[in-house]
């Protein structure tokens, strides 16, 4: 995995106003990862050798293309915040694989599901984001195993027609939380509880024995459930489409 630094520390990110990120702000970008062959080639040319090698390990072209699109657009967005060429950005990785920028105030997290990718950005404080394509059905055994007792009880109390949506809402919120620290699925999903209500408001949650965590669902696409999580106070959230 690559190590090294993007351009040197620049805690006050200065660039076009769309990419000015202040303390206590969350910027969310969402995009479709369906791209043309021409776009794929352009994005591929911005990837690092390890990313190209990873792209080439995908067995199915659609998976390769989605990875190139999601990683290539990540590079473009990060490049816009840092005002650097996307090609020169070097990602470092946490022990469990969370990419980050060493010696940078800019923090980010990425999630993708089928045709969509989402990116969350903050300054200094880590963030987690998740997107899940809402399926018509869900596996009740998965809910029973990975949801907390109260989450499972609330899900099961809903009319059948509302349950799948709620399942993916809960899943995206839980995954956003475990992605903040980079622990991922090493963290027991059933050991904490997120609100199950259908709300796009910022919700306070207890996580890892601490209050002060914030969780917010947002709409990147009507057929997907998305959420971000952070432990910092949030004064402003911008949710935009990356084109």
Ligand X SMILES: CC(C)(COP(=O)(O)OP(=O)(O)OC[C@H]1O[C@@H](n2cnc3c(N)ncnc32)[C@H](O)[C@@H]1OP(=O)(O)O)[C@@H](O)C(=O)NCCC(=O)NCCS
- Which residues contribute to the site for ligand X (CB under 6 A)? 67, 70-71, 95-99, 109-112, 130, 175, 178-179, 182, 184-186
Nearer to ligand X, 129 or 214 (CB): 129
The residue (of 42 and 158) whose beta carbon lies closer to ligand X is 42
Can you tell me the distance from the alpha carbon of 71 to that of 111, in angstroms, rounded to the nearest whole number? 10
**Tokens representing 190?**
């059933």
Q: How far is the CB of 109 from ligand X (least distance, A)?
A: 5
CB-based burial label for 133 (10 Å; 0-12, 13-18, 19+): middle
Which residue number, 182 or 195, has a Cβ lying nearer to ligand X?
A: 182
Which residue number, 142 or 157, has a Cβ lying nearer to ligand X? 142
Question: Which residues lie across from 238 on neighbouring strands?
Answer: 27
The least distance separating ligand X from the CB of residue 71, rounded to whole angstroms, comes to 6
Distances in Å between the Cα of 227 and the Cα atoms of 30, 52, 53, 141, 157 are 12, 29, 30, 23, 23
State the nearest-atom distance from the C-beta of 171 to ligand X, in Å.
9
Q: Minimum Å distance from CB 125 to ligand X?
A: 14
Which residue number is nearest to ligand X in terms of Cβ?
A: 184
CB neighbour class for 92 (10 Å; exposed up to 12, middle 13-18, buried from 19): middle
């Amino acid at each position: 995995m690559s190590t090294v630094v993007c351009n040197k520390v620049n805690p006050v990110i200065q660039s076009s106003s769309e990419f000015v990120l202040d303390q206590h702000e969350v910027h969310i970008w969402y995009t479709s990862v369906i791209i043309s062959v021409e776009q794929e080639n352009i994005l591929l040319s911005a990837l690092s050798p390890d990313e190209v090698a990873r792209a080439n390990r995908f067995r199915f072209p659609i998976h390769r293309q989605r990875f190139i699109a999601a990683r290539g657009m990540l590079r473009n967005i990060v490049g816009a915040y840092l005002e650097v060429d996307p090609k020169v950005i070097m990602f470092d990785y946490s022990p469990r694989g969370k990419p980050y920028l060493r010696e940078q105030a800019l923090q980010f997290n990425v999630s993708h599901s089928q045709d969509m990718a989402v990116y969350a950005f903050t300054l200094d404080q880590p963030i987690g984001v998740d997107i899940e394509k809402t399926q018509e059905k869900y596996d009740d055994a998965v809910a029973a195993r990975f949801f907390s007792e109260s989450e499972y009880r609330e899900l099961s109390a809903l009319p059948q027609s509302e349950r799948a949506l709620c399942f993916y809402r809960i899943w995206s919120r839980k995954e956003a939380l475990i992605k903040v620290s980079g622990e991922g699925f090493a963290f027991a999903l059933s050991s904490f509880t997120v609100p199950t209500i259908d709300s796009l408001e910022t919700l306070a949650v207890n996580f890892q024995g601490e209050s002060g965590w914030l969780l917010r669902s947002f709409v990147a696409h009507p057929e997907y459930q998305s959420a971000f999580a952070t432990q910092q106070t949030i004064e402003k959230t911008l949710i935009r489409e990356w084109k």
